[in-house]
Amino acid sequence: MLRALFHHTQREMYVREIARWSGLALRTVQRELAILMKIGLVTTRTNGYQVFYRANGKHVLFAQLQQLVFKSERCLLGKRKPEKRQRQSWREPSERKRSNAKRREKQYGSDRNI
């Protein structure tokens, strides 16, 4: 979440956008933004419908946090998240289903008359 706010300091983001970008739950982002607002690290602006958040460049810790974010990004460049497994298509039986079908075939025979 800090990366979202302190990497592009001039960019304003709304809560759902930060949640989507960070991968955190919406309630978690709301709670953390409330804490950051309370200590003055984040400023807000509203357009009547949405509240936009952005890092407060005038805060005492702004420069240190921004440096920390940039350093952490350099460290993470080589370490990518493992890709998610592709969802199983309903048309292609999974390996488990195939092995279960083979086991039933052996147990009951290939021609089951019910």
Tell me if residue 79 falls in helix, strand or coil.
Answer: coil
In-domain check, residue 101: no
- The answer to the question of residue 98 being in a domain is no
| Average pLDDT for 89-98 | 59
User: Is residue 93 included in any domain, yes or no?
Assistant: no
Give pLDDT, residue 35: 93
Kindly state whether residue 83 falls inside one of the protein's structural domains. Answer: no
Number of domains forming the structure of the chain = 1
User: pLDDT, tens digit, for every residue of 19-77?
Assistant: 888 888 999 999 999 999 999 989 899 988 889 999 888 888 888 888 888 887 777 66
Question: Which residues span the domain enclosing 40?
Answer: 2-76
C-alpha 90: how far from its chain's center? Answer: 27
DSSP string, 46-68: E-SS-EEEEE-TTSTTHHHHHHH
Residue 82 binned pLDDT confidence (cut-offs 50, 70, 90): low
112 falls within a domain: no
Residue 16 belongs to domain with CATH number: 1.10.10.10
Instruction: Indicate yes or no: pTM above 0.85.
Output: no
